[in-house]
A = this chain, B = another copy of it.
Amino acid sequence: MADDSADSLVLSHDPNHPANLICELCKLFYNNGWVTGTGGGISIREGDKIFIAPSGVQKERMVPDNMFVMNLPTKEYLRVPKSLKPSACTPLFLAAYTNRNAGACIHTHSQNAVIVSLLYDKVFTIANIEQIKALPKITEPGYFGFFDTLTIPIIENTAHEEDLKDSLEQAILNYPTSTAVLVRRHGIYVWGETVWKAKVYNEAIDYLLELAVKMRQLGIPPDGAIGSEKNTRLV
């Protein structure tokens, strides 16, 4: 069980220690408007240990001492910070670790994600944009190409975040080439092999979501063939 000696799990002078990285990255995400109002969260895995930001705190003001640590195989907490509640995202982070062997998982309330979830039905698709090349194919080595179509599933939101687990896992199974799941009227979950890959994927996807909203506003289908932009409603 967790006890005070567990503090050594989160206190380190190494800036790349998961507890330090979670704090650094959440400041960055806050400045992007992705985790304001205590929204969103992040988890990093190191071997069998997973580090998780707590629930309901200001994400840009966390310190390493605020982190939960869990043993991934046993799902037992190795460290529980005083007076803090575990993140309701925890089962969803576990889904990414278990089903995809992820090294980190990011959850944001990005407005681009919410708007896209209002403009698309079951899946978001975008094609023929250079930034797609930042995203991994997953089912085979390497990254998507410029001419590929990127597909991200959209699941329905639930009253309680932890209840998203089943549909998120189903989406992970149904869309084996996606490294993210959008949650309608809520936000997005993005994971990757390492924390840095998860961060890069999240950035690239948010760029594509933002671009897709702009394209839709101009009347240009984001997954349209090259040349379909000639029908923009601005002409």
Contacts and interface: CB of A to CB of B under 8 A. Distances in A.
Interface in A106-146: 109, 111, 114-115, 118-119, 121, 128-131, 134, 145-146
Interface residues of A, number: 51
Interface of A: 33, 36-39, 58, 109, 111, 114-115, 118-119, 121, 128-131, 134, 145-147, 156-159, 183-187, 196, 199-201, 203-204, 206-207, 210-211, 214-218, 220, 226, 229-230, 232, 234
The 10 nearest A-B residue pairs measured at CB? A37-B204, A130-B186, A37-B203, A118-B229, A36-B203, A37-B134, A216-B234, A129-B185, A146-B159, A37-B200
A217 to B, nearest CB: 7
A138 to B, nearest CB: 17
Contacts of A211: 111, 114-115
Nearest to A145: B159
Contacts of A158: 146
A38 B111 contact: no
Given A36-B207, A130-B39, A131-B39, A119 B200 contact: no
Contact of A214 (B36, B115, B145, B183): B115
**Which residue among A119, A121, A145, A230 has the maximum number of chain B CB atoms within 10 Å of its CB?**
A119
A116 to B, nearest CB: 11
